[in-house]
Amino acid sequence: MTETSRRLCARLTLLLLPAALTVALAVHAAHADAPAPSHAIAMHGAPALPPDFEHLPYANAQAPQGGRISYGMVGSFDSLNPFIIKGTAPRALWDEDWGNNLWESLMVRNRDEPFTLYGLLAESVTVPEDRSFVEFTLRPEARWADGEKVTPEDVVFSYELLKENGRPKGWYKRVASVEVTGERQVRFTFTEDADREIPLIVALSPIFPKHAVSAESFSQSSLEPLLGSGPYEVAEVRPGTSITLRKRDDYWGADLPVKRGFDNFEEIRLEYFRDANTHFEAFKKGIFDYHPEGDPGRWESGYQFPAVEEGRVKLEAFQTGVPKGMNAFIFNTRRQVFADPKVREALTYFLDFEWLNENLFLGAYARTASFFEGSELSAVGRPASREEERLLAPYRDAVVPSVMDGSYQPPQSDGSGRDRANLRQGLTLLQEAGYRREGDRLVNEKTGAPLAFEILVMSREDERLALSYKSVLELVGIVVNVRQVDASQYWERLKSFDFDMIRFNYAFASLSPGSEQNFRWSSAAAEQQGSFNFAGAANPAIDAMIKALLSAKHRESFVAAVRALDRVLISGFYVVPLFHAPAEWVAYWTRLAHPKESSLYGAEPTSWWARR
């Protein structure tokens, strides 16, 4: 190299050095800011369990293996696909309480935390502070039941499959893109209006094998099970009557920390019975093993049979640490009869909880007032905080004063079954809504049409409760028809919102409510057949509070948003609140055993085992 060339190179180096340093620093900064992969993801705060945890706290890692558990269900089934609108599929194929037995998700919930997920199909998760994307790294050992590897392409396929053919879910439209980013990596990038919960919802979605599931036939009801990666496979199907699941010898994930102490039975059997009485008689005979009890009268006096007296059946109350849920008569506000909130409020005064509780339930129940009853998320008994007031300021008419100041309680009676003060208050509200008494009927002043509606029920228990409510409603001149239908017809009518009033229990209540609130209460869900917005609630204030709770980064702001949502739901009079049990009641045959500690959600039958 000549002296001139050397001088030219030196000058070029000096000229380019600042730019090179800038690029290098930028790359370094980008790597420094890049989120690190983690073994878990929490909705708020940090995961409670470290990366090297051995098992979930409510599981017995040394639980004996083998034996069988049998569950009993009322009704029937005509499909083995629980992810579509068509057909009725059995519980315990895909269910958080009874197990995701055939299919699996990328991560699973630790039910001893408000909302934290740990890796299952995914060994790690990467998410930035703004949660604009989430990237999963799959476990290299993850396998489908046919031995094929679980791949990132399967994850992309599953998202597209459910988006196009599954039950409607509002979060799908908040995914901007899904792409394979490595041999075992897949990334979901979200739209600007996505909330902080979306990465967790994605992580809990079922994954299907691209090579073995047909997108064309997925939406059709079928008794042919879809291939999965879960610990069980379908061994026998008796249409509408029973299903037997058998544990796979070659299940890939048995020794994962999130799986130790779970899936202990060799066989899971699902038995179906035509009605609740037949169902209970079958339990007494030992045809199935595990019976969550919802009837306090039966809990107190209905278990006086030999197997209990001999100690072969045990009754146990499991304490829970989650909201009690909302068990209620639900108004379908899509129907003209319930379009006026004053009519709905009036009807809350005609339900005599005190009489019902004493005469039907032996005083065992407590009255439900909040949609998040029994937790810090409830607004009942608490005046609105400054943060709640700020959230609700644009929607001043959405919350009634008594709910805003925390003094609201559902109407209380003298327990007579016909409390005169409550009847007068309800009639006053109906008069303000445009109804007047004509003979023995209440009629609309403008149209002359009677105030009349139907209560749709499925079980005898619901029928008994509805008839008790009907007797009071008829006292004031309201025409009520109680109609009982079989399980298949009942659920089909619910899917298409073909009812006036139902009794429904939003039993799954989390300490970290999230996107399911959209599915239950949002304006969009009100128009989606198959959603759980049975009330038809379409209220901008509800939508705004759901958005606020989903975007909250800290627990304090999250709690404020949930309480604000509670206030709007209570003030909308979408339901007639009923009652809740003080504990989770479970009767089971002592051929089953369970861990000493239960989770925040109570009994966890997926962690039980057969007693030897």
Position 364 in a domain? yes
One domain for residues 569 and 591: no
Per the CB < 8 A criterion, the answer to whether 180 and 188 are in contact is no
**Mean pLDDT of the region 392-396:** 95
Position 521 in a domain? yes
One domain for residues 293 and 400: no
Render pLDDT for 578-608 as a digit per residue (tens, 0 to 9).
Answer: 999 888 999 999 999 999 999 988 999 999 9
Quote the tokens at residue 489. 């017809």
d(CA 85, CA 102): 19
Q: What is the DSSP string of 332-391?
A: -TTSGGG-SHHHHHHHHTT--HHHHHHHHSTT--EE--STTTTSTT--TTSPPPHHHHHH
**Mean pLDDT of the region 354-363:** 91
Render pLDDT for 495-531 as a digit per residue (tens, 0 to 9).
Answer: 999 999 999 998 767 788 888 899 999 999 999 999 9
In this predicted structure, what is the pLDDT of residue 91?
82
Query: What residue numbers bound the domain in which 253 lies?
Result: 232-322+584-610
3-state secondary structure of 284: helix
In this predicted structure, what is the pLDDT of residue 394?
97
One domain for residues 291 and 336: no
Per the CB < 8 A criterion, the answer to whether 577 and 356 are in contact is no
CATH number at residue 381: 3.10.105.10
One domain for residues 480 and 541: yes
pLDDT > 70 fraction of the chain, expressed in percent and rounded: 94
- The one-letter amino acid code at 278 reads T
Position 359 in a domain? yes
Tell me the residue ranges of DSSP E strands in 199-353. 206-207, 232-238, 242-247, 267-273, 290-293, 313-318, 326-331
**Mean pLDDT of the region 122-144:** 97
d(CA 503, CA 487): 14
Task: Check whether 346 has a pLDDT greater than 70.
Answer: yes
One domain for residues 442 and 546: yes
The bridge status of strand 116-119 relative to strand 133-138 is unpaired
**Mean pLDDT of the region 568-587:** 95
In this predicted structure, what is the pLDDT of residue 17?
42
For residue 290, the cross-strand partners are: 71, 588
d(CA 357, CA 572): 25
One domain for residues 398 and 456: yes
**Mean pLDDT of the region 363-376:** 91
Render pLDDT for 248-269 as a digit per residue (tens, 0 to 9).
Answer: 999 999 999 999 999 999 999 9
Task: Check whether 33 has a pLDDT greater than 70.
Answer: no
Tell me the pLDDT band of 361, cut-offs 50, 70 and 90: confident
CATH number at residue 317: 3.40.190.10
Quote the tokens at residue 476. 């004031």
Phi, psi of 328 (to 5 degrees): -160, 160
- The one-letter amino acid code at 353 reads F
One domain for residues 302 and 412: no
In this predicted structure, what is the pLDDT of residue 1?
52
Position 563 in a domain? yes
**Mean pLDDT of the region 195-210:** 94
d(CA 132, CA 390): 26
Give kind and range of the element (H or E) at residue 179. strand 175-180
Render pLDDT for 403-458 as a digit per residue (tens, 0 to 9).
Answer: 999 999 999 999 998 899 999 999 999 999 999 999 999 999 999 999 999 999 99
User: How buried is residue 150: exposed, middle or buried, by Cβ count under 10 Å (0-12/13-18/19+)?
Assistant: buried
CB atoms within 10 A of CB 169: 20
Give kind and range of the element (H or E) at residue 524. helix 523-526
Position 132 in a domain? no
pTM of the prediction?
Answer: 0.73
Position 144 in a domain? no
Tell me the pLDDT band of 24, cut-offs 50, 70 and 90: very low
One domain for residues 518 and 550: yes
One domain for residues 384 and 370: yes
| Domains held by the chain: number | 2
Alpha-carbon distances, residue 339 vs 73, 308, 330, 540 (angstroms): 35, 49, 13, 16
Position 491 in a domain? yes
One domain for residues 288 and 409: no
Tell me the pLDDT band of 82, cut-offs 50, 70 and 90: very high
d(CA 336, CA 450): 12
d(CA 320, CA 155): 34
- Look over the chain and give the mean of its residue pLDDT values, rounded to a whole number: 92
pLDDT > 90 fraction of the chain, expressed in percent and rounded: 80
Tell me the pLDDT band of 388, cut-offs 50, 70 and 90: very high
In this predicted structure, what is the pLDDT of residue 10?
46
Residues 143, 148, 152: CA angle, nearest 5 degrees: 75
One domain for residues 429 and 291: no
Position 302 in a domain? yes
Render pLDDT for 282-322 as a digit per residue (tens, 0 to 9).
Answer: 999 999 999 999 888 889 889 999 999 999 999 999 988 88
Per mean pLDDT, which range of 105-119, 294-308, 569-583 is the poorest? 294-308
One domain for residues 507 and 400: yes
Render pLDDT for 139-185 as a digit per residue (tens, 0 to 9).
Answer: 999 999 999 999 999 999 999 999 999 988 878 899 999 999 999 99
d(CA 371, CA 572): 12
Q: b/e string for 494-532 if b means 16 or more Cβ within 10 A?
A: beebebbbbbbbbeebbbbbbbbbbbbbbbebbebebbb
In this predicted structure, what is the pLDDT of residue 503?
96
The count of residues in the chain is 612
Task: Check whether 31 has a pLDDT greater than 80.
Answer: no
**Longest Cα–Cα distance in the chain:** 116
Q: What is the DSSP string of 391-453?
A: HHGGGGGGS-HHHHTT--------SSSS-HHHHHHHHHHHHHTTEEEETTEEEETTT--B-EE
Task: Check whether 542 has a pLDDT greater than 90.
Answer: yes
Task: Check whether 18 has a pLDDT greater than 60.
Answer: no
